[in-house]
Chains A and B, each alone.
Chain A
Amino acid sequence: MALTRLTSANAIPDDSIANVKMANIVQSKNIIINGDMQIAQRGTSAASVTGDGYKTVDRFINEMSSAGTWTLSQDTDVPSGYGFSSSLKYDCTTANGSLSAGSWGFISQRFEGQNLQYLNYGTSSAQKLTLSFWVKSVKTGTYIVEMVSFATTKSQSQSYTISSASTWEKKTITFTGDTATAIANSSARSFNLNFWLVAGTTYTSGTLNTSYNTTTNANRAVGQVNLADSTSNNFWITGIQLEAGDTASEFEFLPYDVNLLRCQRYFQCSFEQGVTPGNNEANYLMQDCSCYASNSCYFGTPLFCEMRADPTCVYYTGNNSSSSGNKITYYNGSWTNGTAANAVLTDKYVSASASISSSANQSILLQYNYTFDSEL
């Protein structure tokens, strides 16, 4: 490709760059991480889901109780022509048409307080937040989306309507700012954004709370349809963006590596993208180490980036028989499994010990995989 030297004759004049265009190239305006559902380090599908946990696409936690059984997956069904390649799909596999009062189910993302200081909560300059997203559902009707302050137990709910079954629709919702209570400046959990799917009367029997108030359960999800009432019910969501101000801008697409790195502050693993963590995978880490004493060795794993907190660790065997309980594989004349445990770990590295069968100063070869989790 030929390069042209920039001169005063061919330079772009300052006044030809419109502010409105520049506004859309500011990176990380989106408070949501992985809003385009591109990253799925834990695997692309999780079946028989009935309870809480991070299941498939990164940063989105499933919160659920007595709300049917679901398969969650990273799906390729997306709104056509808007640049998306993935969505998060909820597929109801066992219905619950008669919810108990305390039934609940929602998709949630949790935020660190230190990333939200610019919102100026607790002052008269508290900024509004505007949420935009694409959604598609077999079941039409009213749905609730909610901002919850974890530290102050205040919340605010807004409703939206899915008008056409099985059709992608873009929704935009604005939340008022909280002028009364500041957000703690730390890496701890401060806010949740919840997309309700299922709500029993405990959460629907009051009046929808549409400004920041101390959370009253009865006012949280008033009007929410029961998405769990049929196994025909599927729900997809993607393109989630939460930004300061009262207008929604175009979705901020980040390069894959940037998106992955943002997710890795909260979850890292040695498995390939899309592979569900488990024992006896074809690919694994290999590491030589020397035993400082009989029947014990230490090994270390540097982290891809600084994690939010010291991570919870799970170790898996290498190319050897599966075994539960944080087993790693080592070679001592034959491939055997030993038991791993944390030794010294920080948000920058993890050192672990392994109980094995060896003599002091013996050099052994380890095979293992891992997941490190510091989600909120």
Chain B
Amino acid sequence: MNITSAQYHFDTFLQKNTCIKAVINGQDLLVPLDENNRHYQAIQEWAAIDGNNIIDNGA
């Protein structure tokens, strides 16, 4: 998978991060925070590489 960006989505009603907005293979995806999801797994591998970060703006 070609991941070009990843950012947590903070839900103001639920007051927590609810998904990752990611661009993967040129497509905008809403990736759940589920370790059994293949896109989530790929983002974790991508984020482990120096220079890649999942942007987390929090509350």
Interface bits A172-214 vs B (CB < 8 Å: 1, else 0): 0000000000000001110000000000000000000000000
**Docked-complex contact B30 and A187, CB < 8 angstroms:** no
A: number of interface residues (CB 8 Å)? 33
Tell me the bound Cα distance from A375 to B1 in angstroms. 14
B1-59 residues at the A interface, CB under 8 angstroms: 1-2, 9, 11-14, 18-19, 21, 25, 27-34, 36-39
Interface bits A323-365 vs B (CB < 8 Å: 1, else 0): 0111000000000000011111100000011000000000000
**Docked-complex contact B25 and A313, CB < 8 angstroms:** no
Q: Contacts A309-B36, A311-B32, A352-B30 known; list 20 others, CB within 8 Å.
A: A52-B1, A53-B25, A189-B38, A296-B13, A298-B13, A310-B37, A312-B29, A312-B30, A312-B32, A313-B29, A314-B28, A314-B30, A340-B30, A341-B30, A342-B18, A343-B11, A343-B18, A345-B19, A353-B11, A374-B37
Tell me the bound Cα distance from A296 to B25 in angstroms. 29
List the 7 shortest-distance A-B pairs measured between CB atoms, nearest first.
Answer: A342-B19, A310-B32, A310-B34, A309-B36, A313-B30, A341-B9, A312-B39
**Docked-complex contact B37 and A292, CB < 8 angstroms:** no
User: Secondary structure at chain A's binding surface: helix, strand, loop or mixed?
Assistant: strand
Tell me if A300 is interfacial: C-beta within 8 Å of chain B: no
**Docked-complex contact B38 and A342, CB < 8 angstroms:** no
**Docked-complex contact B32 and A345, CB < 8 angstroms:** yes
A296-313 residues at the B interface, CB under 8 angstroms: 296, 298, 308-313
27 CB-based A-B contacts, threshold 8 Å = A51-B2, A52-B25, A53-B25, A293-B13, A296-B13, A309-B32, A309-B36, A309-B37, A310-B37, A311-B32, A312-B29, A312-B32, A312-B37, A312-B39, A313-B29, A314-B29, A315-B30, A325-B28, A326-B21, A341-B11, A341-B18, A341-B19, A341-B21, A342-B32, A343-B11, A374-B37, A375-B38
Give the distance to chain A from B33, nearest Cβ to Cβ, in Å. Answer: 8
Residues of B within 8 A of A51 (CB): 2, 25
**Which residues of B are interface residues toward A (Cβ below 8 A)?**
1-2, 9, 11-14, 18-19, 21, 25, 27-34, 36-39
Tell me the bound Cα distance from A2 to B1 in angstroms. 59
Tell me the bound Cα distance from A292 to B13 in angstroms. 9
Q: Which listed residue, A189, A353, A373, touches B13 by the CB 8 Å rule?
A: A353
Closest chain A residue to B21, Cβ basis: A341
Residues of B within 8 A of A340 (CB): 30
**Given A293-B13, A308-B36, A309-B37: A314 and B18 interface contact (C-beta under 8 Å):** no
Give the distance to chain A from B22, nearest Cβ to Cβ, in Å. Answer: 9
Residues of A within 8 A of B39 (CB): 312, 373
